[in-house]
């Protein structure tokens, strides 16, 4: 990075000898930082969606935009993926991220959940809770749920306490729950439990706050005594005055706060990419700041749902793409946009923005085409894991949670008992969320939650009926969160009779490196492998999936995310340079394609690394720009 680190403000160290305080001045309707009036102009950034090598770059860009604060979520499931197994290192180093923000000169508004929404898998809640209790009433005072939440905070909050502003860190406020008034339960005992837990483990010298959508009912069920009420609202229409008027109903005095001013909006697979016009956001920010209010822009950088971390909405069930670009002021890849420049200009009317050059966007490189060679079907790879995949045997289908494999894919295998010479109807009403049905490796159809859940099958006694089910992300908003099990959650019926006798293979695919890669012949769903190498240093790039239909892609074992160009709007996946290796290393690309390859040859079909994103298009099924099938070796 080109900026000298001596320019950075080491706020903590400057005042560390003094008494630090962050409080509310109810007389003057403002926050007080060390006794002085303080108004935050903040942006949301999710460390779980940004590669750690870029944390500082993004925080610097936020600082240079004139922000004095950031707002972050802590996704519980990111840190405790398996019950009692914690991760706070590497990409999960939340303490390191918070300290970095402080080094850069930003204070931190902490949203510690346990529920975070954020279009994140299960709204941040760990799927292992569904193994412990499939009917757990999340976000209520269900004793089992409270026990898990309490256990989590006993681990998390002691790490957070030294990072509170009063203790020398940057954290000025801590949110209780998240837009709880939008949830049907309206369970004050649950909110009280969260408040007591925060007071017990963090002490009383930090401001606790709530955030709710600007409707009277939302504030009624989301607010709690001892927790400062804030509102959130988007940039359009007359929402601003109405929302702050409502905040005043609950907080007659104190600072006005919009905890989420939407700079853009989220996407769903199969829907157009969301765009919010620059002027609309800029005008709204201007109005809020002119009122002396505090504001957090959601998102300032959206980032990426790497791996299986995307969430979903319901009803109808709609899954969130891999890109979480959000049309935010910094792109998914952290690039400067016109929106960034415009918002910085607005901020400069109210607060001095740092007199330093805006950090540049990172270079992007078009590594070009990489031939992907068919390596084997899902049936092939079942037998090629070393050590072998675990297999669960059960009379009736078990859910993903029941077998303790929470993400990715799962395959249900049944040996057909009688000849099915004429079509019989196979029904999988409980498919979560999409399934490929095969008999003896022959694809017979795709079933989908909320869509077709019946398929006609034929087959012969002794053949395998395979149902490969994909988890597309757990619902993270509303009452659908109560029914979030994955895999097959009902019985499977053949002509109306329950099918019994299953072998169940968990296929998270994150251990694809354990597969013995060697050529085989077959049909989809299938693994494709490719490789490329380059000289020099790695740079960010975008992986274009136009020739493929749907699946999951891995680079050097890093789970880049889901691709689905036939549905869109995302066609290319952001590849951070940290996923790539310069020569003499070889980069391995692997993908699991579950539907259709659009190249003339199913044996070889290229992906292409390009230097621009594409998240606002669709590739109509059947279209393919790839004419030849030449093997392309790539060199920089
Ligand atoms: C810090 O607080 C203590 C106790 O309130 C007080 O005695 C002391 O003067 C304060 N120091 C500064 C530098 O404000
Ligand atoms: C805050 O309000 C009090 C009482 O109205 C007033 O005396 C004081 O000057 C105000 N402080 C600031 C910083 O405006
Ligand atoms: C924690 O996550 C990092 C990636 O951020 C990984 O390298 C490490 O192995 C994980 N640690 C544990 C204990 O799972
Ligand atoms: C989830 O929904 C399915 C289908 O509506 C239903 O059969 C099942 O009982 C529900 N499960 C829970 C835990 O509510
Ligand atoms: C989606 O985008 C297409 C192409 O730009 C446009 O024709 C269509 O009206 C858009 N649909 C919606 C709902 O905005
Ligand atoms: C599934 O299989 C694994 C590995 O064999 C085993 O540890 C686990 O207990 C099984 N779970 C169920 C629900 O059968
Ligand atoms: C089932 O089909 C196989 C293959 O067509 C045939 O060899 C076998 O005799 C059939 N069995 C019955 C019971 O019809
Ligand atoms: C299912 O019903 C169809 C149509 O009645 C029939 O042809 C087929 O043999 C039945 N299959 C089984 C397994 O009973
Ligand atoms: C199954 O086959 C029957 C008879 O050919 C047809 O009417 C029905 O639409 C088919 N069902 C599905 C789900 O394809
Ligand atoms: C990998 O597969 C090949 C071909 O099936 C086989 O010859 C070889 O022994 C396998 N290697 C391992 C380590 O299993
Ligand atoms: C790289 O891919 C090419 C083309 O498919 C293949 O011939 C070669 O064996 C691969 N190299 C390695 C090291 O896997
Ligand atoms: C997609 O985004 C690009 C870059 O912002 C823009 O030029 C193009 O018009 C957009 N296409 C659609 C269909 O919105």
* 435-462 pLDDT tens trace: 999 999 999 999 999 999 999 999 999 9
- pLDDT given at position 381: 85
- Quick one: which atom of ligand 8 is closest to the CA of 420? 13
Residue range(s) occupied by CATH 2.60.120.260 in the chain? 368-375+512-610, 390-507
Ligand 10 geometric centre to CA of 376 (Å):
13
Tracing tokens 């930082």 back to the chain, one arrives at 33
What is the C-alpha to C-alpha distance for residues 409 and 413, in angstroms, rounded to an integer? 13
Confidence of residue 620 (pLDDT cuts 50, 70, 90): low
Choose which residue among 424, 425, 453, 496 to substitute to test ligand 9 binding: the one with the highest number of ligand atoms within 8 A of its C-beta: 425
Q: Does domain 390-507 have CATH number 3.40.1350.10?
A: no
Whether 132 is a known active-site residue: answer no
Contact status, residue 565 vs residue 542, Cβ threshold 8 Å: no
Percent with pLDDT over 70 in the chain: 93
In this structure, the number of other CB atoms found within 10 A of the CB of residue 295 comes to: 25
Does the structure show a pLDDT above 90 at 184? Answer: yes
**Residue range 69-84: average pLDDT?**
98
Minimal-distance CA residue to ligand 7 atom 5: 460
Q: Which of 13-27, 462-476, 615-629 has the highest mean pLDDT?
A: 462-476
- Quick one: which atom of ligand 8 is closest to the CA of 495? 1
Cα four-point dihedral sign 30, 35, 38, 42: negative
Minimal-distance CA residue to ligand 6 atom 11: 403
In this structure, the number of other CB atoms found within 10 A of the CB of residue 321 comes to: 28
Does the structure show a pLDDT above 60 at 58? Answer: yes
Residues with CB under 6 A from ligand 6: 390, 392, 398, 402-403
Helices (H) and strands (E) in the chain, counts: 12, 33
In this structure, the number of other CB atoms found within 10 A of the CB of residue 462 comes to: 11
- pLDDT given at position 518: 57
Q: Name the packing angle between helices 278-290 and 239-250 (round to 10°).
A: 40
Cα four-point dihedral sign 378, 382, 386, 391: positive
Confidence of residue 524 (pLDDT cuts 50, 70, 90): low
Ligand 4 geometric centre to CA of 122 (Å):
16
**Residue range 298-309: average pLDDT?**
98
Closest CA to 111 of 254, 230, 274: 230
The secondary structure of 148-206 as a DSSP string is HHHHHHHHHHHHHGGGBGGGTSSEEEEE-SSSGGGSS---HHHHHHHHHHHHHHH-SSS
Ligand 1 geometric centre to CA of 33 (Å):
15
- Quick one: which atom of ligand 11 is closest to the CA of 604? 5
- pLDDT given at position 622: 43
Does the structure show a pLDDT above 90 at 603? Answer: no
Residue range(s) occupied by CATH 3.20.20.80 in the chain? 5-348
Q: What is the pTM of this model?
A: 0.93
**CATH architecture of the domain covering 368-375+512-610:** Sandwich (2.60)
Does the structure show a pLDDT above 70 at 2? Answer: no
Ligand 10 geometric centre to CA of 442 (Å):
24
Give 307 or 524, the one with higher predicted confidence.
307
Q: Which of 179, 301, 332, 595 is catalytic?
A: 179
429 touches ligand 4 (CB under 6 Å) = no
Total residues belonging to the chain: 636
- pLDDT given at position 3: 40
**Ligand closest to the CA atom of residue 532:** 11
Q: 15-19, 261-265, 430-434, 528-532 — which is least confidently predicted? A: 15-19
Does the structure show a pLDDT above 60 at 523? Answer: no
Does the structure show a pLDDT above 70 at 399? Answer: yes
Q: Name the packing angle between helices 94-104 and 55-64 (round to 10°).
A: 30
Q: Which of 80, 119, 251, 260 is catalytic?
A: 260
Choose which residue among 391, 403, 405 to substitute to test ligand 6 binding: the one with the highest number of ligand atoms within 8 A of its C-beta: 403
Homologous superfamily, domain 5-348: Glycosidases (3.20.20.80)
**Residue range 350-357: average pLDDT?**
96
Ligand 5 geometric centre to CA of 312 (Å):
22
Confidence of residue 389 (pLDDT cuts 50, 70, 90): confident
Choose which residue among 134, 389, 392 to substitute to test ligand 6 binding: the one with the highest number of ligand atoms within 8 A of its C-beta: 392
What is the C-alpha to C-alpha distance for residues 296 and 43, in angstroms, rounded to an integer? 5
In sequence order, the 6+-apart residues with CB closer than 8 A to the CB of 5 are: none
**Residue 393, by phi and psi: left (phi above 0), alpha (psi -120 to 50) or beta?**
beta
What is the C-alpha to C-alpha distance for residues 470 and 179, in angstroms, rounded to an integer? 29
402 touches ligand 4 (CB under 6 Å) = no
531 touches ligand 11 (CB under 6 Å) = yes
What is the C-alpha to C-alpha distance for residues 548 and 563, in angstroms, rounded to an integer? 8
- pLDDT given at position 11: 42
- Give me the helices (H) in 265-337, please: 278-290
Reported as a single tens digit per residue, the pLDDT across 151-179 is 999 999 999 999 999 999 999 999 999 99
Residues with CB under 6 A from ligand 3: 87, 89-92
Whether 179 is a known active-site residue: answer yes
Ligand 6 geometric centre to CA of 391 (Å):
7
């Amino acid at each position: 990075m080109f900026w000298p680190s001596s320019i950075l403000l080491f706020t903590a160290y400057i005042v560390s000898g003094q008494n630090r305080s962050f409080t509310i001045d109810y007389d003057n309707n403002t926050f007080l930082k060390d006794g002085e009036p303080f108004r935050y102009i903040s942006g949301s950034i999710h460390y779980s969606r940004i590669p750690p090598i870029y944390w500082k770059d993004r925080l610097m860009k936020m600082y240079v935009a004139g922000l004095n604060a950031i707002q972050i979520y802590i996704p519980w499931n990111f840190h405790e993926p398996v019950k009692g197994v914690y991760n706070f290192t590497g990409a999960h180093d939340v303490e390191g991220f918070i300290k970095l923000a402080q080094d850069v000169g930003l204070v931190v508004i902490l949203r510690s959940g346990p529920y975070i929404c954020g279009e994140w898998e299960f709204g941040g809640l760990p799927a292992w809770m569904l193994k412990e209790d499939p009917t757990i009433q999340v976000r209520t005072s269900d004793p089992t749920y409270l026990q898990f939440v309490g256990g989590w905070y006993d681990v998390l909050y002691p790490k957070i306490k030294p990072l509170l502003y009063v203790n020398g860190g940057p954290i000025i406020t801590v949110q209780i729950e998240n837009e709880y008034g939008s949830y049907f339960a309206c369970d004050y005992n649950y909110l009280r439990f969260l408040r007591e837990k925060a007071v017990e483990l963090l002490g009383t010298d930090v401001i606790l706050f709530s955030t709710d959508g600007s409707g009277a009912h939302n504030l009624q069920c989301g607010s709690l005594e001892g927790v400062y009420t804030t509102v959130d609202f988007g940039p359009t229409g007359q929402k601003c005055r109405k929302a702050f008027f409502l905040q005043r109903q609950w907080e007659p005095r104190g600072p006005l706060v919009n905890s989420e001013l939407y700079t853009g909006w989220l996407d769903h697979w199969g829907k157009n990419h969301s765009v919010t016009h620059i002027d609309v956001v800029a005008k709204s920010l201007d109005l809020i700041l002119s009122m002396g209010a505090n504001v957090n822009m959601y998102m300032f950088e959206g980032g990426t749902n790497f791996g299986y971390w995307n969430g979903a909405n319901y009803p109808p069930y709609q899954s969130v793409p891999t890109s979480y670009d959000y049309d935010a002021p910094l792109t998914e890849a952290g690039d400067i946009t016109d929106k960034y420049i415009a918002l910085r200009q607005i901020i400069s009317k109210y607060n001095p923005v740092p007199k330093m050059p805006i950090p540049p966007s990172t270079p992007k490189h078009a590594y070009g085409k990489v031939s992907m060679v068919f390596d084997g079907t899902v049936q092939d790879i079942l037998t090629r894991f070393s050590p072998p995949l675990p297999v669960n045997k059960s009379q009736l289908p078990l859910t993903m949670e029941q077998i303790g494999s929470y993400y990715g894919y799962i395959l249900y295998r049944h040996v057909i008992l009688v000849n099915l010479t004429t079509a019989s109807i196979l029904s999988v009403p409980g498919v979560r969320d999409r399934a490929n049905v095969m008999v003896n490796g022959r694809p017979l159809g795709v079933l989908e939650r909320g869509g077709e859940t019946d398929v006609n099958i034929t087959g012969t006694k002794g053949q395998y009926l395979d149902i490969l089910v994909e988890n597309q992300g757990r619902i993270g908003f509303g009452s659908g969160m109560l029914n979030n099990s994955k895999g097959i959650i009902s019985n499977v019926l053949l002509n109306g009779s329950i099918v019994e006798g299953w072998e169940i293979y968990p296929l998270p695919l994150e251990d694809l490196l354990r597969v013995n890669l060697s050529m085989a012949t077959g049909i989809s769903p299938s693994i494709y492998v490719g490789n490329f190498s380059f000289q020099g240093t790695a740079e960010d790039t975008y992986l274009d999936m136009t020739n493929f239909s749907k699946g999951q892609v891995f680079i050097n074992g890093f789970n880049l995310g889901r691709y689905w160009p036939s549905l869109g709007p995302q066609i290319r996946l952001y590849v951070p340079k940290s996923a790539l290796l310069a020569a003499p290393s070889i980069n391995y690309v692997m993908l699991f394609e579950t539907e259709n390859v659009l190249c003339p040859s199913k044996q070889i079909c290229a992906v292409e690394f390009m230097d621009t994103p594409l998240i606002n298009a669709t590739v109509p099924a059947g279209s393919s720009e790839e004419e030849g099938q030449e093997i392309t070796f790539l060199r920089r």
